[in-house]
Structure 1
Amino acid sequence: MFKIIGLLLGYYFLGIFGAFAGYIVGSILDRYRAYGAGAINPLTNAHRQTVFIETVFILMGKLAKADGHVSQDEINHVEDFMRKLGMSSEHRQLAIALFKQGMAPDFDIKPKLNEFMAVCGHTNSLKQMLLIYLIVMALSDGRLDAAEEGLLKDFAFHLGYDQSAFKQLLEMVLGQSHFAGGQATSATALDDAYKALGVSKESSDQEVKRAYRKLMSQYHPDKLMGQGVPEDMISMATAQTQEVQAAYDLIKKSRNM
């Protein structure tokens, strides 16, 4: 919208060169409105991405050791995570070092969480995607034990989530995980579908549709990259959109929407 306005005003006042300049300025404003400040300032965005990915691997390490030992499933999950990111050998070594740093019993995670909040905390999507990555990590061995859930609650608290908001996000991710690959994988698929969208069977069709659209917007690749999620990590968000879509399709079918 702004780029069209900028083009017209620029042409009106300054001719063809003014139109070009107005279009560029308008495009920047459009990206700011859609994706946040990181879409405008690539240096700021690059810094956000660095802090984001460092926080992910450090907290993954802390979470993996929450129950006293690191399972093979958790190791496999982190290795698969790095493989999906297409990391170079050098970056893999750095990620492993961050993971091990988080695993250390005496490592204090609060400074890293404080840094994350200072750099990324004003963007809700970054906080939510960080928690989603960590919840998926905790579920990688097929269960969520009390120690892991307690640590996730601590992470969520530092990110500004109260107990109710964390519980809702946890249930949503659990529900979405039952639609891995875009297919229902549980006997309670319809119940899981409602949880995946963060609604209930009592919700109206309009409320269900609104929740679906909100989630699809939150997981949109361009929006996440504009706000500071590294491009290589977008594939996991794409997987979440497939799960949300499958859940929504099941609800629509059950309601004849």
Structure 2
Amino acid sequence: MVTLVRISEFVAQAPGSILSRLVEAVRTAFAGDPKLRRRVAFSIALIALSAKMAKADGIVTQDEVSAFHDIFSVPREEMRNVSRLYNLAKQDVAGFEAYARQMSGLCGSGKADCPMLEDILDGLFHIAKADGVLHEREAAFLARVAEIFSISEVRFAQIRARHVADASNPYVVLGVGPDTSFDEIKRRYRQLVAESHPDRLIARGVPEEFLAIANTRVAALNAAYEQIEKSRSLHERV
């Protein structure tokens, strides 16, 4: 967490608005280490947007705090640096849409369905649903962030279906239609599992702690594929 210590110090000392300071910190810190810079960018984006989501919802439950720690394993002595960043973003007068627009630049301007931005949205869903309910304001917040991130409706529906029980549908989880051939479903399933491989996530800059959430993503993909496979097999025997 030394990265967050340095970012926290930069944000506290630099002039300008909180949002501009965060963005500048992401751009300039660790300029000689692209891999570390991506990790910092991911961490800053998720901390800032989770703070804005808490403000939009108006309530932060202990379950949501625990879910946050699923993603960030923070040593006790460094927790104040994470708390500082979280509280600065939460109190900033800039709205969440301004934060989301700035963070969307992590994948370059206009890039649709960016894996790193989908990872951030996945983390936000994990926190939002931790208390057992995805509240209306949280759902609206997440949908708007996805729109700003240029995440397609199909990809957003996939992410939502992995987290929200009443939205779960094996075809939606895999991003295919009920009339899709089984060979195409298998190809799509393997592609999605490959995208969630730990090596790929680490290369995108996600913290190692996030890999536990990636494992639940793969479990959801496996369950969806197995459900479709079983359904197709039964249908063929009828």
Q: TM-score when scaled to structure 1?
A: 0.67
Equivalent in the alignment of 1:18:
none
Equivalent in the alignment of 1:246:
223
> Amino acid of the residue matched to residue 209 of structure 1?
K
Equivalent in the alignment of 1:13:
none
Matched, 1:78 2:75: no
Q: Partners in 2 of 1:119 and 1:99 — Cα distance?
A: 19
Q: Partners in 1 of 2:118 and 2:70 — Cα distance?
A: 22
Alignment of 1:52-63 (within 5 A): 52-63=42-53
Deviations 1:112-163 (A, max 9, x none): 44553444446921011111111222222333333223322332233223xx
Which of 191, 198, 209 aligns to 1:214? It is 191
1:240 offset after TM fit, Å? 0.7
Equivalent in the alignment of 1:227:
204
Greater Cα offset, 119-128 or 205-214: 119-128
Q: Partners in 2 of 1:225 and 1:149 — Cα distance?
A: 27
1:106 offset after TM fit, Å? 2.1
CA contact (8 A) 1:176 1:247 kept: no
CA contact (8 A) 2:54 2:60 kept: yes
| Distance change in 2, residues 1:169/1:93 (3 Å) | farther
Q: TM-score when scaled to structure 2?
A: 0.72
With a CA cutoff of 8 Å and minimum separation of 6, indicate the structure with the bigger relative contact order: 2
> Amino acid of the residue matched to residue 176 of structure 2?
V
RMSD of aligned alpha carbons: 2.9
| Distance change in 2, residues 1:156/1:177 (3 Å) | closer
Could you say what secondary structure the match of 1:66 adopts?
helix
Q: Partners in 1 of 2:71 and 2:42 — Cα distance?
A: 16
> Amino acid of the residue matched to residue 63 of structure 1?
M
Equivalent in the alignment of 1:5:
none
> Amino acid of the residue matched to residue 205 of structure 1?
F
Give 5+ residue unaligned stretches, structure 2.
1-30
Could you say what secondary structure the match of 2:206 adopts?
coil
CA contact (8 A) 2:39 2:205 kept: yes
> Amino acid of the residue matched to residue 147 of structure 1?
R
CA contact (8 A) 1:101 1:107 kept: no
Equivalent in the alignment of 2:130:
140
| Distance change in 2, residues 1:160/1:83 (3 Å) | closer
Give 5+ residue unaligned stretches, structure 1.
1-40, 179-185
Equivalent in the alignment of 1:205:
182
CA contact (8 A) 1:219 1:241 kept: yes
Equivalent in the alignment of 1:176:
162
> Amino acid of the residue matched to residue 171 of structure 1?
A
Please identify the structure whose Cα radius of gyration is greater.
1
Matched, 1:44 2:34: yes
Q: What percent identity do the matched residue pairs reach?
A: 25
Matched, 1:125 2:115: yes
Matched, 1:88 2:88: no
